[in-house]
A and B are shown apart, each in its own frame.
Chain A
Amino acid sequence: EDQVTQSPEALRLQEGESSSLNCSYTVSGLRGLFWYRQDPGKGPEFLFTLYSAGEEKEKERLKATLTKKESFLHITAPKPEDSATYLCAVQARAGNMLTFGGGTRLMVKP
């Protein structure tokens, strides 16, 4: 069974204080690993897809990396508007669905 574990569950940062969110996964043949951002009362918003170990993608202050067992979402010099829940999900080669982790709730204080 595919599993995704995200840590920490919650993270408080000061504005400008860089950090990383972790996503550990087990999957029977990875098709893709996805990162989403979810604001309260809204649906997940797509950020990145990573397909193979060693791959990296960047978008503004966010950078996602992938190894064979985990993915990191690095946040550089975060701003209060980066406050949200960040979700990691995997899709197996043989499956159609995404298996989500529990998310990391990020709070950035000004």
Chain B
Amino acid sequence: NAGVMQNPRHLVRRRGQEARLRCSPMKGHSHVYWYRQLPEEGLKFMVYLQKENIIDESGMPKERFSAEFPKEGPSILRIQQVVRGDSAAYFCASSSGGDRGYTFGSGTRLTVV
């Protein structure tokens, strides 16, 4: 897991605030995926990005959530006006493409109070 860097590890936000989660993929990986793990639930796909492009956002909630993967810098998952139901662990994974297994980061645990 050390190869995919996520920060912060823990994030506490009050309802209505914004949360920004960052992910730096493994060196040489240009594909980034975001997954959400709600308490007592499995991992759910949110969005798939390549540099400067959103490829598949079919798992993203339609409102308040956005993601980007700029030419320079980490991928960002942004949640506006957070609500208690957004409390979860958010995992980023990266790959070099194709059929190889993804490498996951250690996650960001978001708590909305």
Contacts and interface: CB of A to CB of B under 8 A. Distances in A.
Are A and B a genuine interacting pair, yes or no? yes
Interface of A: 31-32, 34, 36, 41-46, 49, 51, 87, 89, 91, 95-103
Given A100-B43, A101-B42, 6 more contacts: A44-B43, A46-B103, A95-B56, A97-B59, A98-B35, A100-B44
B69 interface: no
Contacts of A89: 43
A99 B45 contact: yes
A43 to B, nearest CB: 4
Interface residues of B, number: 26
A31 B107 contact: no
Contacts of A44: 43, 91, 104
Contacts, number: 61
Interface of B: 1, 4, 6, 33, 35, 41-45, 48, 55-56, 58-59, 91, 93, 99-107
A6 B107 CA distance: 23
A102 B42 contact: yes
A22 to B, nearest CB: 15
Contact of A46 (B35, B55, B102): B102
A43 B99 contact: no
Contacts of B6: 43
Contacts of A100: 35, 42-44
B23 to A, nearest CB: 11
Contacts of A34: 101-102
A98 B45 contact: yes
A38 B42 CA distance: 11
Nearest to A48: B101
A48 B33 CA distance: 19
A42 B100 CA distance: 21
Query: B41, B91, B93, B102 — which one has the most chain A CB atoms within 10 A of its CB?
Result: B102
Contacts of A95: 56
B101 A46 contact: yes
A51 B99 contact: yes
